[in-house]
């Protein structure tokens, strides 16, 4: 069992929390506020984590970052760098799994331009958090595929980027707990390779406008 902290309690964070908790991990969701007046709105009801799974704890994001063995960033990518850089001390020595994409929203709420063209959120996070081992993965699919890759007719691909091989092996273990077969996991290499997978987000709004919110992933075909 691993202690996993998830920063962000929306659809992505909630889905990951439920699946990892079911796999036997101790999971804590990090929310922006534990104020009784606002905490209920900090968790997306669609994620099923607000009282839906008593095995999943709630705490503030700083405490989650400090106490977890592995931390997953499921916060909005356009503001994640500032938010996580503020947790530099708490994240020191940890594995940080970044599943976000940093884009500017379009008028219809879909992903738009990249916030870091020529770089990536993962690279920016690694530079801002030198004592943390950043691993990028699961950012090339809709959230429901992250925890149920078997729902697609064609086997999807989970790309993995990071400078630390041991950290990537640990994250690969978590991917297995989420239902990913080893043949579906592609180790791309160092953290700079994340700029390629983050750029894949540019195809997403076009697919969604044509086909609606149907599960899909940007994958390799062999």
- pLDDT bracket for residue 34 (50, 70, 90): low
Q: Is the pLDDT assigned to residue 46 strictly greater than 50? A: no
Please give the pLDDT value at position 45. Answer: 42
Secondary structure of the chain in HEC code, one letter for each residue: CCEEEEECCCHHHHHHHHHHHHCCCEEEEEECCCCCCCHHHHCCHHHCCCCCCCCCEEEEHHHHHHHCCEEEECCCHHHHHHHHHCCHHHHCCCEEEECCCCEEECCCCCEEEECCCCCCHHHHHHHHCCCCEEEECCCCECHHHHCCHHHCCCCCCEEEEECCHHHHHHHHHHHHHCCCCHHHEEEEECHHHHHHHHHHHHHHHHHHHHHCCCCCECCCCC
Please give the pLDDT value at position 35. Answer: 57
Residues 103-127: tens digit of each pLDDT: 997 777 788 899 999 999 999 999 9
- The average pLDDT across 81-97 equals 98
Rounded mean pLDDT of the chain? 91
- pLDDT bracket for residue 54 (50, 70, 90): low
Percent of the residues in the chain that have a pLDDT greater than 70, as a whole number? 90
Asked which of 8-22, 24-38, 165-179, 189-203 is least confident by mean pLDDT, the reply is 24-38
Please give the pLDDT value at position 41. Answer: 38
- pTM exceeds 0.85 for this model: yes
Q: Is the pLDDT assigned to residue 50 strictly greater than 80? A: no
Q: Is the pLDDT assigned to residue 1 strictly greater than 80? A: no
**Virtual torsion, Cα 87, 89, 90, 93, nearest 10 deg:** 120
């Amino acid at each position: 069992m691993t202690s996993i902290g998830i920063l962000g309690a929306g659809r992505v964070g909630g889905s990951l929390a439920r699946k990892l908790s079911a796999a036997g991990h101790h999971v804590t969701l990090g929310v922006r506020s534990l104020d009784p007046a606002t905490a209920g709105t900090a968790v997306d009801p669609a994620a099923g984590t607000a009282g839906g799974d008593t095995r999943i704890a709630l705490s503030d994001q700083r405490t989650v970052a400090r106490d977890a063995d592995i931390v997953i960033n499921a916060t909005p990518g356009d503001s994640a760098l500032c938010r996580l850089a503020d947790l530099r001390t708490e994240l020191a020595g940890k594995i940080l799994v970044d599943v976000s994409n940093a884009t500017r929203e379009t008028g219809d709420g879909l992903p738009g331009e990249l916030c870091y063209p020529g770089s990536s959120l993962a690279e920016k996070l690694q530079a801002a958090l030198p004592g943390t081992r950043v691993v990028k993965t699961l950012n090339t699919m809709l959230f429901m595929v992250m925890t149920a890759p078997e729902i697609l007719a064609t086997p999807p691909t989970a790309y993995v980027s990071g400078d630390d091989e041991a950290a990537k092996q640990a994250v690969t273990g978590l991917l297995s707990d989420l239902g990913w077969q080893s043949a579906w996991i592609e180790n791309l290499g160092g953290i700079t390779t994340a700029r390629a997978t983050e750029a894949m987000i540019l195809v997403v709004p076009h697919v969604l406008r044509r086909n609606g919110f149907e599960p899909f992933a940007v994958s390799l075909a062999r």
